[in-house]
Amino acid sequence: MPELPEVETTRRGIDAVITGKTLRRLVVREPRMRWPIPADMPSLLSDRTVLECARRGKYLLLRFEHGTQIVHLGMSGSLRSVPSGEAPRKHDHVDWIFEHATLRLHDPRRFGAVLWHPDSDGPIIAHPLLAKLGIEPFDPRFDGAWLHQQFRGRSMAIKQALLAGSAVVGVGNIYASESLFRAGIDPRTPASRVSLARCTKLADSIRATLADALASGGSTLRDYVGATGQPGSYFDIHAAVYERDGRPCRVCSTIIRRLVQGQRATYYCPRCQRR
């Protein structure tokens, strides 16, 4: 699944292309996404200017004069710039056509979303999909004290607490395993038992892990590509534990283990990471 670094990489790519530009036409080939694309969306956005290309968690937010379009890439989707006139492939469901460029949403599983939030419905941050999201990991307020407070009284495993997204957004399955390794925390540790000092190390590790992923353009997992159509290279450079089960730890040479938590694979080093 595209995670925060992949979505932010996409945001940066399309921001340079569409912000300040007028959308001439929205073409919806397949409206049956995770939620149906409203039938009137093309007419709502025709000849409207993109004022901002923002992000909240894993949601892309395209702001127009009269509302905000919410775009989610789903499980294996991508939003990229394509040459004008390029024939759509199978699973190319939506086009944003500008005079100088075309953006295309490719989503084989149709688990993504393209929704509309009019300004008349209130601030975009109050939308039901966004209202309960946790703090952004690069927000200056995000630190060990914040995590320690959020984890108080939570008996679930620390890995699951990170994936829940209510304490901090964007730490999905891949980067949760990597961040916990950097912090030296066993992924099975109850969240409430992680001390303030270890929460501080974890917050620093989360920022460092996501920063590395952003610098690399995201991961190379599955079908993810960025706005330019190029895959990221995080795993070629940085991965310490993710999908490395059965191989030696890069730090201590202990064999990396794999376990399943909440139907998601977790990877960790039993020597470097302690409860």
Distance CA 147, CA 10 (A): 27
Distance CA 232, CA 225 (A): 7
Rg of the chain taking only CA atoms, in angstroms: 20
In terms of C-beta density within 10 A (0-12 exposed, 13-18 middle, 19 or more buried), how is residue 97 classed? Answer: middle
Which residue in this structure is represented by tokens 């917050």?
Answer: 203
Alpha-carbon distances, residue 36 vs 63, 90, 210, 219 (angstroms): 20, 19, 32, 29
- Full DSSP string of 135-184: B-TTSTT-SHHHHHHHHTT--SBHHHHHHH-SSBSS--HHHHHHHHHHHT
Look at the alpha carbons of 244, 174, 142, 14 in this order and tell me if their dihedral is positive or negative.
Answer: positive
Residues recognised as catalytic: 2-3, 58, 264
In terms of C-beta density within 10 A (0-12 exposed, 13-18 middle, 19 or more buried), how is residue 199 classed? Answer: buried
- Contact yes or no for 60/72 (Cβ under 8 A): yes
Supply angle C-alpha 66, 125, 226, rounded to 5: 85
